[in-house]
Structure 1
């Protein structure tokens, strides 16, 4: 692999050069702007599938990884071949502000029930200026795992160009959050660190994996990751024509993490999670590949196109991928799947944790539709239109509509089964308040 590093670095230098040359002309182009509705920089954002580390990786490989990196590629697919992955998409941004989170505490002990959970509620955490803004939700102790993103400086060409201009004219803004090795969860909650391929070389991916889940985090007074979320990334360079074939993907990240786990560089109990987008993925073939590479669970984008989600869910069932773990008192509709599909959903290798946006307004839903890449879906656009119609009726009508939508989404997901949890992604104060209300009235089942 050492022989591959110079080529990878050269490719990334070339990509950065191309990006710099393209930024000024592309940033204003609606076709390349991507998530044009995103107003804030990615440094205060959060995501399922994000970009390079907010805290830079060490410039050199740690001594305990040098032999691994220089060893021949293993037979599990760790060669330099690039594997494209179309499934990843960044998840949401949050406004700046907020206090630091709770002090660092260890996650569940290795091998205890926390590592083999039943019904699981997970919480998307903010980093940068948004770090610690979920403290009230954390205090409910409803979330078995907290997911920290791995973001680039920006996820759209417009915001990337702004960030570059800003770096040339003003000193870098102070980041109030700790390094990712010191991100802290609520006591007893698993720490999930995202590892994005983005523009990283295999060596740099190894560095982040080892830093997140190895012994170094705790030795430095931080908190070791219980789970690694393996994704492709959301750097805008990845959207350039032909570039995806030159870069690593979530499949490569998953291979690297699995190899380090197998060789003892991170604990064998470290879980490897992946992402999926049922709104745009036609079938669960990609998810099956991830399961074959050692994935333990999958987090999805919110199912904004419901029929597309059901088709994806049924294909995942047909392939025998899902391990169903519903909350107590819940059972999916007998009409939602065949008996054979139902039985396979409880015996597969993957726990399915479905994204929930905690929609707070039509604008918030529009953001999610754009972010999930399903703006071309009539069903997704109808969600936004319905919310706008409700808002035209006044604040009470709008509040009733969003509450109904959020409750119904939980009910629908549970009714159709196949799932093992929900991933709560509350953007902004209104969404966080909705999540707290649903936890209080029982419409959002806590982890068990």
Structure 2
């Protein structure tokens, strides 16, 4: 992995991320991080596509180094993004005034926070957010704003149960509902019918909706992804319920640090979001936005996404096979999925005592592999202890990780201390 001083700092300040302790365990044992395999989060520090780098050097107009007076991002990128969303989500048009697109300029986490904050300012604000479990760290966004975080459990097939979710929404009317159809961390894509029924339940209970479309483009090659944005726009067309779709571009172009994505919503809601954003900042990263605008109109950007899809699919198949054949995992012990850049698997029974992944993750880190938590949302009901692997890596790196896990006694039949 990248040298820790480049991405973690020196450790002289508090509040380091949780993985920092695992990385320091490895270096405290005398090893260099250059040999550490880091598979915890969706990052590999290998750099963005060459075409995007060239655009940053050659396609940035002089005005992009100054302020923009538009609260919706660089106008050039906003227009390109609108065309891109229409095309990639197979929408007829966004010019009818019902839906608009703005630039997410400081990461989608910040955009989610702004949306949740906006809702809290409205008359009869929601006090509950319903989030998928397992799931991403939505509670870390919403709880500090005063929301009561209520998980909705996914079924064994990785899908939400629309009827169970409808009952939860009826117990918490006017809640904020989060949906994540290309689901992180399971890699399971939610069925179109499930998403439609879920959205219909949201409309019936006057819930607000946050659509997390981070991995919309990261699906099996040739597969048409579940188009939750089109469903959301259709199901809410005759309502005034608030909704926001966020789609990061960092995941599909390996440029997470740029913090650029698309925000899709009604124009009136985008205007409210712009007011909140401007309370804390003017537009940021205009040269990056100009480069992204040029890159999205380059046919090479579509080719890059296709290559990423093939890489994830091939690595997913390979790692799944090795977990079964080399580490002895049963079929139900691996959740390989068909989308996102992650694969999830169970912690072996002997390492899962107490329902914590910590002993397993510490042992793996000592062996030179940092794996991620299988959920960032506490999952009630004792549905198992899981970890996840990030698949956007060289195949040799993933093979090295599997070899190290096996040698460290972390196969399915491994024993603590073995």
TM-score of the alignment, normalized to the shorter chain, above 0.5: no
Q: Which has the higher contact order (CA 8 A, sep 6+)?
A: 2
